[in-house]
Every structure is written in C-alpha cells, then in structure tokens.
Amino acid sequence: ELALASARRGFAVVGHFRSAKKEIKILAREVEKLGRPFFPIAWDFAKGTGGFIARCARFPVRLEALVNNASLYEKGDLYSSAERAWRAQVEINAFVPLLLSMDFARRVKRGLIVNLLDAGAEKFNRTFQTYRLSKRLLGELTRDTAMLLAPRIRVNAIAPGPLLPAAFDGRAAFLRKQHLAPLGAQVTLDTLTAAFDYLLTRPDLTGQVLYVDGGL
C-alpha cells in the first residue's frame, strides 16, 4: 500500500523483498499500472545491510525517500525468550533501520525517511515484550536521527494500530483488537496511506510520530 501511495504521488518505486517473489511481481504490475517504474531488489537484512542503498542507487532513479517497513513480528518475553530471538528482534526492527538511514543520508543531499512503528508498543504486553521494546527503540531512533540529520533529511514515523490480521491471529481475534479502539474498526489501510501522503508533502515536519490507531 505504501508503494502504491508513492507511485500515485509520482515516485518510481524500488521495492525490497526477502523471499516473496510472487507478491513482488504482483506489486510491480500494480505500480506500473499507475504509470511509474518499479525496481525489485531481493535482500535478507538478517545477513547485513552493507551495500543495500548502493544497490538501490544503481537503478535509473534519484533516491528521495526511504521507508523502513521491514519487521520481525514474533512472540517473546524477557524471561523465556532465547538470546538469539531477542537479538534478532532488535537487529531487524531497530538496528537495520538505523543503518539504512545512515547510508541513505550519506548518499542523498535532501530526502525523507519514514519509519514504521507500532501503536501497541507503547503499552505493556507480556506476549510481545521483545517485539514491543524493539519498536520503542525505533521510535527513539526516529527522534534522534531527525535531530542528527536535520535540515537535509527529514525523519518521521507512522505508528499503526491493528490494520491487518497477524498470521497467527484469526479474523475474530483481529476484529476484537480493532474494536478496543475508541473509534472501533474505522481505521483502515486508507488511513495509513493518508498519513504517509501527509508526511511526503509536509517539508516542515521532522521528528514526528503519527498514530494511526483509532485513538488507542
């Protein structure tokens, strides 16, 4: 959805994927229907980020924005999570976006970075402690990098509530989560893309987190 929103704004899209070859081909066709070029790039961030931004720059595009959306969403608490699982959450959800942001900032003169957080990360959740803390760290990094990279690079974030069911959630459980919000299930992917579009078009905003969560 964020790739399509970018295309509707007139951007070419460099679309990262790890293993979803079928899905990335479908997305490429949807972007190209909007009259914008799409360049897929396969990469496993668990094996490092070195060279990724340089690879993106080889495509016939001018890099203007980076969206840090790759995420590892797994159950885990501070008592029982294995060290490997805990490190993996922090690595993918916080450290990788930081490294990509720094590489992006070294390569472009002016630009925008948007980090995807999680509105639920603000509250205690025993089942997802490691995930929640890794996303909270990304929130702190959003504010710090916004100060560090200003005024050349703007850094903002979007914190969605439950917009899509998780792989291990049933439809009923997902709807229960949505209805916990004061606005119920009114928040949709359109709300997310509207927030993204707002950040794209506001050159006076940096260090901000937009909560797309129905009031949670």
Mean pLDDT of the chain: 90
Q: What does the pLDDT average to over 128-154?
A: 94
Reported confidence tier of residue 18, pLDDT bands at 50, 70, 90: very high
* Higher pLDDT, residue 77 or 32: 32
pLDDT of residue 164: 81
Give 97's contacts (C-beta < 8 A, 6+ positions apart).
Answer: 68, 70, 115, 138, 141
155: CB partners within 8 A, 6+ apart: 101, 112, 113, 115, 142, 145, 146, 149, 206, 207
CB within 8 Å of 20: residues ≥ 6 apart: none
The closest of 60, 9, 54 to 31, measured between CA atoms, is: 9
Q: What does the pLDDT look like over 107-118, one tens digit per residue?
A: 999 999 999 999
pTM over 0.85: yes
pLDDT of the residue at 124: 66
**pLDDT tens, position by position, 57-113:** 999 999 999 999 999 877 766 656 667 777 888 999 999 999 999 999 999 999 999
| Dihedral sign (CA 160, 3, 204, 108) | positive
**Report for 141-155, 167-181, 184-198: range of highest mean pLDDT:** 141-155
Tell me what pLDDT residue 79 has: 59
Q: How much is the average pLDDT of 132-161?
A: 96
Give the dihedral sign, CA 80/83/84/89. Answer: positive
Instruction: Quote the percentage of the chain above a pLDDT of 70.
Output: 93
* Distance, CA of 93 to CA of 111 (rounded, Å): 21
